Structure 1
């Protein structure tokens, strides 16, 4: 397996080329200097943290990952662009479909998105978006609510393929559709998604301001509405991980505590606005946050106590095991990290294969092993990491 091409090594190289010290780069990126040093020396970081560094260095995050996407990803690019094209140039001869049929199609797309079946999503998305845009003029708010979910699927695939510009366009389309759906909780969920997109681009301050605005807009509903409390909790969870990436432990843990308190109000694990909420979701965010805060022991303790409900979204399981692998690597437990990587691959194979973070964690594990094991080489080959 090739050495010297980890995210940390690439950051160090570009930093030095730009004449920046670790302290200067850390201040520009609004991250902790000690965490920067740790990553440059081989630790695996989250996508939000890497986004902040990329923005401070003035490069796209893909440069730091060293991504070389397979041809299939680039084949998807024109299809995604068509799905996200202008909202007012649809064929006037296109006949509207019954809203119930469109809802069934969106339910399938949402399931594929959560199960990381991205090729299936892309195959149907452009025509489905066109149909929903036509339906918007006929059925109004229900069609725009469905259209919001269609654009969310486009955002997910764009992000996984590494198309940052399309991911941002998709979240703008989501916001456009959600404002026409007449549902403030749906719009708040859009802000939850958009904050993630902004943070991956390094705009963490913008992301946190957006989340705070979203919370203020629905706060009046929380005490009387369990669904509102659930949406409020996901805003806190997102804010908790973004704050962790900036090294703000107090803010991160405060947001995650608020999410836990809210979970007692709306009950156990469930899906709200196509987003997992509840104790398990909070644990997943805690693992990610504690690793970024430099507390791998706390992250591992949470991970060991996490029990997934039946049929929990595969993509979320994949993320969880990648963050758990990061925690084990930070603790120097390479074998456990490799086991966690296998769990991530099993949970969501297509997500694992597409994930820049998976490639980064694999490279980090390889750097910690004197000789890459057969298990690690197998994972690397599956994820497309060059040998």
Structure 2
């Protein structure tokens, strides 16, 4: 299974070509020497954010470490269309009349449901026309239309990120922030920063991402006592900061952010606010991811075993739970349990599984740990589009 033996070996090869030791690479990436060693040796599966930091330190694009963008072909075929949808905010037919705002709202609600359910093909088919209609509606209806447009741009960011197009993801974030500012909604704007921070971290700009999050938290802190939605966004910002700090090997900072998120999440409850999953359960999911990126596999597994996922939690978040649990088991050198978690992720979200870089790196790590690839691993590799 040669296609599964990639990321760690590539990191090591490029590091040596750059004349870097593991110590030097860890310092440049803001990670720990232990984590770099484990990734290279096939004992740890890096998150997309940690891989972004390592790629930046090596001076390469993340796809050089993970391989080509080999997600579902039918999704990649939509990328030029999505690029056109994001290319401009003022090039539409000036004589076209807008659809009714109620109709557009229903279409965006459906789009958001597809995003949470990881129905990426449906998103790609619907986005270009919907974005154009919302741009026209913004001219007529103003703030309500721009709020809906921000959600549409968020869906385009999701698709771009899942398929590994960092440039397109950042463009989508620019558009989302542009629309959010025109919506007049401070919390929607803060939510765009929550998403932009992740996009920055994926290209190795974790420190800048934390600065953005800190600034945004300062902006909305005055509202969190009186406004439950503001408190929900506040928890999301701290969750994001907790996971990004973990990729920078800042264990104390990560824990501080996650503790604050957990404290406020108790009053927020498990729900969706501004199309973002919040609440105690999602804080637990972020804590698992952070523990893995800090090299704390045992801690991550303990958290996972005590986490109860709400029945109505979005498929996307449930899938991340299983993927990060798999990464935790790999860190503890238990590939069989990791493969079980990956099977769960595939059953929940086949499109996400096929497109996800995290899935591919986890499979590569599992292959490195198994002396002989099991049938289950080979089956998952085929589902992920890896050559067997």
TM score, norm. by length of structure 1 = 0.98
1:241 Cα offset (Å):
0.2
- Separation in 2, partners of 1:265, 1:187: 22
Q: In 1, are the aligned partners of 2:301 and 2:329 still within 8 Å (CA)?
A: yes
Q: In 2, are the aligned partners of 1:87 and 1:133 still within 8 Å (CA)?
A: yes
1:29 Cα offset (Å):
1.2
- Separation in 2, partners of 1:57, 1:347: 34
- Separation in 2, partners of 1:219, 1:231: 10
1:4 Cα offset (Å):
7.2
* Residue correspondence of structure 1 range 253-292 to structure 2 within 5 A: 253-266=255-268, 268-292=269-293
* Partner SS for 2:277: strand
1:13 Cα offset (Å):
0.5
* Residue correspondence of structure 1 range 277-356 to structure 2 within 5 A: 277-356=278-357
* Partner SS for 1:95: coil
2:190 to 188, 191, 195: 188
Please give the root-mean-square deviation of Cα atoms over the aligned residues, in Å: 1.0
1:6 Cα offset (Å):
2.4
- Separation in 2, partners of 1:37, 1:3: 21
Given the alignment of the two structures, is residue 52 of structure 1 paired with residue 53 of structure 2, yes or no? yes
2:33 counterpart residue number: 33
String of CA shifts for 1:208-231, please: whole Å, max 9, x gaps.
000001101101001111110110
- Separation in 2, partners of 1:309, 1:240: 22
String of CA shifts for 1:81-102, please: whole Å, max 9, x gaps.
0110210111112220010100
1:162 to 164, 186, 196: 164
Question: For structure 1, which runs of at least 5 residues remain unmatched after alignment?
Answer: none
- Separation in 2, partners of 1:6, 1:145: 42
Question: For structure 2, which runs of at least 5 residues remain unmatched after alignment?
Answer: none
* Residue correspondence of structure 1 range 1-387 to structure 2 within 5 A: 1-2=1-2, 5-42=5-42, 43-69=44-70, 70-266=72-268, 268-387=269-388
Q: In 1, are the aligned partners of 2:52 and 2:201 still within 8 Å (CA)?
A: yes
- Separation in 2, partners of 1:287, 1:3: 28
- Separation in 2, partners of 1:121, 1:108: 9
1:73 Cα offset (Å):
3.5
- Separation in 1, partners of 2:51, 2:80: 27
- Separation in 2, partners of 1:44, 1:291: 9
Distance 1:4 1:315, change over 3 A: closer
1:332 Cα offset (Å):
1.4
Structure number with the bigger relative contact order (C-alpha 8 A, sep ≥ 6) is 2
1:164 Cα offset (Å):
0.9
The aligned length equals 386
1:107 Cα offset (Å):
0.4
Q: In 2, are the aligned partners of 1:3 and 1:367 still within 8 Å (CA)?
A: no
Distance 1:240 1:130, change over 3 A: same
Q: In 2, are the aligned partners of 1:83 and 1:154 still within 8 Å (CA)?
A: no
- Separation in 2, partners of 1:67, 1:245: 23
